C-alpha cells in the first residue's frame, strides 16, 4: 500500500488497480466537495434557527427532520430516493426515463449523490 501498488485487477484484466483508482478519483472528489459544501450551508442554517427560540414550529421541524435523517440507514434512504426520483421523472417526462447514463456530467449526475 505504501508504494500504491495493488497489482492487477481481477475484473478488468491487464489493468493496474492503481490506475483504476486514479481514474475514478476526480468524480469522487467533486461529489465529496459539493456534498460537504451543501452540508455546511444547510447545517449552519438549520442549526442557527433553533438557537433563537426553542418553541417555534421551525425548531420542531428541524429537530424532527434531523432525527429522522440521522436514524434512517443510508441504504434505505437511497432506495427510497431512487424510487421517488425514478417514478417522478418517469411521470413528468412523457413516460421516458430521463436519468442520463454514461459519462459523468455535473449537471446531470449529481441529483442523488448529493
Average pLDDT over the chain, rounded to an integer: 76
CA distance 6 to 111: 32
Mean per-residue pLDDT for 46-64? 74
Q: What is the pLDDT of residues 2-27, one digit of tens each?
A: 777 888 888 887 888 888 888 888 87
Residue 70 pLDDT > 80 = yes
The region that residue 4 occupies, defined by phi over 0 for left and psi between -120 and 50 for alpha, beta otherwise, is left
Q: What is the pLDDT of residue 16?
A: 87
Who has greater pLDDT, 27 or 114?
Answer: 27
Who has greater pLDDT, 78 or 71?
Answer: 71
Q: With contact defined as beta carbons under 8 Å apart, do 38 and 25 qualify?
A: no
Q: With contact defined as beta carbons under 8 Å apart, do 12 and 20 qualify?
A: yes
DSSP 3-state helix, strand, coil percentages of the chain (rounded to 5)?
60, 0, 35
Q: What is the pLDDT of residue 73?
A: 94
Mean per-residue pLDDT for 50-77? 80
Domain boundaries, the chain: 1-71, 73-114
Q: With contact defined as beta carbons under 8 Å apart, do 97 and 86 qualify?
A: yes
CA distance 36 to 30: 10
- Neighbouring CB atoms inside 10 A of 82's CB total 12
Amino acid at each position: 500500500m505504501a508504494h500504491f501498488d495493488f497489482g492487477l485487477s481481477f475484473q478488468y484484466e491487464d489493468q493496474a488497480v492503481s490506475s483504476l483508482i486514479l481514474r475514478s478519483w476526480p468524480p469522487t472528489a467533486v461529489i465529496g466537495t459539493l456534498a460537504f459544501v451543501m452540508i455546511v450551508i444547510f447545517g449552519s442554517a438549520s442549526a442557527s434557527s433553533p438557537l433563537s427560540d426553542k418553541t417555534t414550529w421551525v425548531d420542531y421541524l428541524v429537530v424532527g427532520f434531523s432525527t429522522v435523517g440521522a436514524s434512517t440507514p443510508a441504504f434505505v434512504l437511497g432506495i427510497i430516493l431512487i424510487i421517488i426520483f425514478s417514478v417522478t421523472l418517469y411521470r413528468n417526462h412523457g413516460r421516458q426515463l430521463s436519468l442520463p447514463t454514461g459519462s459523468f456530467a455535473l449537471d446531470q449526475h449529481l441529483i442523488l449523490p448529493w
